[in-house]
């Protein structure tokens, strides 16, 4: 496409600004640490940058709690070192080859020197990041016509039945009506606590809301707030405590549990509407590596992008994708804003939704930082002013009564508002459950590719903001059902992927508005387009590889190096907006560069934006441009420790992270107190 004068001026301006900022900022240099295997010809540090600063700082004799990852059996000398009086092994996750250890910071380099040590990082804090069924396309796929082995057509209800969704969050109010099955039994099949509080309910209020978006049954308020997969089984894994805060170690314990129990509870999907600051490269970060293990065994992991998309002046901020949203194998979800309407012609990206690229990275032996710089999120889903289940007596509503949506005064039937990528993520998790029900032979990579290929690109937003586009459940289910179920174990590149020679029509109509699909998928730093992505089997759809990070697949071909994947598929450079224009073609995204219309922040820089919103205001920033160090106390009493920005765990932030005020954008449906059992609106009840 021939560039316009405006495009040329923008590219020239960005290039000049890039040079200016690069010269003014210089290279971000961290502490030297023990070397790990080479990456890109350079040795990598085995110690995370924030931990290295502690081990070499004035408090180096103070104890720190770390995640130790091994790359092989533990040697006798390392075992002896970890048996010293000052060292305490808190937990071991055998399936993840990692342990939680408390030791003096001064010992870190000594431990890292052992060959079997892969990486050491701080046990950081994790936190919650926080008309749907109609606007997403879920209502359009409830009834499916399937053909029996005898050739008899029958009607199937697509509702997630038989699929387990593990929700890692602040617990679930197990008595809430939203989680009953068609037979009036609880669909929460198991609950576990990993916080140490020894409770499985939801005193914070985040997890119940998240779980009901993914799998609420719609009995309340005439199914106005039905979840995406209303008959899916729910696995309640509590990793955030009573104030919405958790730890890396608690999250790892839950993921390790999933690996052990996935078959027992038919877990095919994990929802992670939580995160921590993405410091370490996804290749080193323990949560990212654990997520990869789950994906490799066939589990889809949906992860929130984060809620740090703007600064104090309302300017867009790039490069604030949270962990594990920076993990390539996860489906990273940003938040869109439907403005309360079912048609999708007015949808946009919520201003607070975190934008890419990923700015996690690794430090080489010379102290130079190397950023991952992957395109994220992968797609977006509605996340603004979402109404769904409210846990009884939860902290969020207790401190912010306006969050109660006024749907019902009854116990176990209340509904509440919440906003954020936390609310968008379970929409994708529930969609994945529908896809597995529609076609159980899909791999996580197929699910991810199908969701991106069928997504709706939103006009005026680039891929760092929306990924491939807004989730389109109608198109995704139609495409998933078209994928062959008899591919078997041998899947050569280019083999027919669909059960028909005619691919699905790449457009969808929702609430009278027709839109085209993206017809492409994100490949790490690049983008692939072409009908071959759905008509021919691609090696990156297999288990054990990922779609997004340039992993070597078959015959030494690297998918994301610009090589044609197969006939009809072309991989290109650049970040694309919805009309196909490449906005960053020829512009190098380097440290500190302003990307088009916003500021890019590097993990290693001294400038972080912390959004803490009070009451019904929007965009109030407590800290913007401060050098955040250990134990810094900000003006609102929020403590930032260990270099972790605890933005989304603050009650007022999670409660009122809104685009605008708390005024509803759609009419609230009031509950009559009588369960709605005709969920499809066809006179057929789901229970008697």
Query: Among 683, 677, 617, 623, which Cα is nearest to 652's?
Result: 617
Higher pLDDT, 511 or 671: 511
Q: Which helix (H) or strand (E) holds 624?
A: strand 621-624
Asked whether residue 656 carries a pLDDT value surpassing 60, the answer given is no
Q: Dihedrals φ, ψ of 451, to 5°?
A: -65, -40
Strands 267-272 and 300-304: parallel
Lowest mean pLDDT among 36-45, 82-91, 419-428: 36-45
In this structure, is the dihedral angle defined by the CA atoms of residues 504, 507, 508 and 509, taken in order, positive or negative? negative
Higher pLDDT, 113 or 312: 113
Query: Among 249, 133, 239, which Cα is nearest to 193's?
Result: 239
**pLDDT value at residue 643:** 27
List active site positions.
Answer: 169, 206, 422
610-648 pLDDT, tens digit each: 222 222 222 222 223 222 222 222 222 222 223 222 323
Higher pLDDT, 316 or 476: 476
Which of 49-63, 73-87, 429-443 has the largest mean confidence?
Answer: 429-443
Asked whether residue 688 carries a pLDDT value surpassing 70, the answer given is no
Q: Which residue has the tokens 């912390």?
A: 610
**Where would I find the H helices in 303-350?**
none
- Produce one character per residue of 232-252: b if its CB has 16 or more CB atoms within 10 Å, e if not: bbbbbbbbbbbbbbbbbbbbb
How crowded is residue 540: how many other Cβ atoms within 10 Å of its Cβ?
25
**pLDDT value at residue 607:** 27
Which of 19-23, 95-99, 191-195, 221-225 has the largest mean confidence?
Answer: 191-195
**pLDDT value at residue 313:** 76
Q: What is the pTM of this model?
A: 0.81
Q: Which residue has the tokens 């044609």?
A: 564
Which of 87-91, 199-203, 560-564, 571-575 has the largest mean confidence?
Answer: 199-203
Asked whether residue 665 carries a pLDDT value surpassing 60, the answer given is no
**pLDDT value at residue 583:** 54
Give the pLDDT mean for 319-347: 94
DSSP string, 499-568: SSSSPPPSEEEETTEEEE---EEEETTEEEESTHHHHB--GGGSTTS-SSS--B-GGG-BTTTT---STT
- 8 A C-beta contact, residue 169 and residue 207: yes
Query: Among 166, 324, 137, 143, which Cα is nearest to 236's?
Result: 166
Give the pLDDT mean for 335-342: 91
Domains and CATH numbers, the chain: 35-123 (3.30.70.80), 131-482 (3.40.50.200)
**pLDDT value at residue 604:** 34
């Amino acid at each position: 496409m021939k560039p316009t004068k405006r495009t040329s001026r923008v590219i020239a301006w960005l290039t000049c600004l890039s040079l200016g900022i690069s010269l003014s900022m210089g290279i971000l240099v961290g502490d030297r640490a023990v070397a790990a295997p080479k990456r890109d010809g350079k040795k990598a540090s085995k110690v995370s940058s924030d931990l290295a600063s502690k081990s070499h700082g004035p408090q180096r004799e103070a104890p720190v709690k770390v995640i130790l990852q091994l790359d092989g059996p533990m040697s006798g000398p390392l075992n002896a070192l970890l048996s010293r009086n000052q060292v305490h092994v808190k937990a071991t996750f055998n399936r993840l080859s990692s342990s939680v250890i408390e030791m003096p910071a001064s010992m870190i380099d000594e431990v890292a020197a052992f060959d079997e040590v892969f990486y050491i990082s701080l046990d950081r804090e994790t936190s919650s990041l926080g008309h749907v069924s109609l606007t997403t396309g879920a209502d359009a796929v409830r009834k499916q016509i399937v053909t029996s082995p005898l050739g008899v057509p029958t009607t199937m209800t697509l509702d997630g039945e038989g699929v387990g969704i593990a929700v890692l969050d602040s617990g679930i109010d197990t008595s809430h009506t939203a989680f009953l099955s068609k037979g009036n039994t609880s669909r929460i099949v198991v609950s576990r606590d990993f916080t140490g509080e020894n409770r499985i309910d939801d005193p914070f209020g985040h997890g119940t809301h998240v779980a009901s978006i993914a799998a609420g049954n719609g009995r309340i308020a005439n199914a106005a707030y039905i979840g995406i997969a209303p008959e899916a089984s729910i696995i309640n894994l509590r990793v955030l405590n009573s104030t919405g805060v958790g730890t890396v170690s608690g999250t790892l314990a839950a993921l390790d549990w999933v690996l052990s129990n996935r078959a027992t509870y038919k877990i095919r999907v994990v929802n992670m509407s939580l995160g921590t600051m993405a410091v370490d490269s996804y290749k080193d970060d323990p949560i990212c590596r654990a997520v990869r293990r789950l994906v490799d065994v066939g589990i889809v992991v949906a992860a929130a992008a984060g809620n740090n998309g703007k600064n104090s002046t309302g300017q867009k901020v790039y490069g604030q994708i949270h962990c594990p949203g920076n993990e390539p194998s996860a489906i990273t979800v940003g938040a869109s804003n439907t403005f309360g309407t079912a048609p999708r012609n007015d949808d946009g990206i919520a201003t607070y939704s975190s934008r890419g690229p990923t700015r996690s990275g690794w430090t080489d032996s010379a102290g130079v930082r190397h950023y991952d710089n992957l395109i994220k999120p992968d797609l977006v889903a509605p996340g603004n002013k979402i109404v769904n289940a409210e846990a009884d007596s939860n902290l969020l509503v207790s401190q912010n009564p306006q969050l109660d949506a006024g749907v019902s005064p009854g116990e176990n039937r209340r509904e509440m508002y919440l906003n954020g990528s936390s609310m968008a993520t379970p929409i994708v998790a529930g969609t994945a459950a529908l896809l597995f029900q529609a076609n159980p032979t899909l791999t996580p990579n197929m699910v991810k590719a199908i969701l991106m290929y069928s997504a709706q690109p939103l006009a005026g937003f680039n891929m760092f903001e929306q990924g491939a586009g807004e989730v389109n459940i109608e198109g995704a289910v139609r495409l998933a059902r078209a994928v062959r179920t008899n591919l078997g174990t041998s899947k050569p590149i280019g083999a027919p992927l669909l059960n028909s020679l005619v691919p699905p029509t790449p457009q969808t109509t929702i609430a009278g508005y027709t839109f085209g699909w993206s017809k492409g998928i994100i490949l790490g730093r690049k983008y692939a387009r072409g009908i071959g992505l759905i008509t021919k089997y691609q090696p990156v759809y297999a288990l054990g590889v990922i779609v997004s990070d340039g992993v070597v697949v078959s015959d030494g071909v690297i998918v994301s190096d610009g090589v044609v994947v197969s006939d009809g598929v072309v991989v290109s450079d650049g970040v694309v907006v919805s009309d196909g224009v490449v906005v960053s073609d020829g512009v190098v995204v380097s440290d500190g560069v302003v990307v088009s219309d916003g500021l890019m922040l590097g993990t290693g820089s001294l400038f972080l934006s912390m959004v803490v919103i009070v009451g019904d205001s929007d965009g109030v920033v407590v800290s913007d441009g401060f050098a955040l160090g250990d134990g810094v106390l900000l003006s609102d009493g929020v403590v930032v420790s260990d270099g972790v920005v605890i933005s989304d765990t603050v009650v007022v932030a999670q409660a009122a992270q809104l685009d605008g005020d708390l005024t509803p954008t759609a009419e609230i449906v009031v509950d009559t107190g009588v369960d709605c059992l005709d969920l499809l609106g066809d006179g057929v009840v789901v229970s008697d």
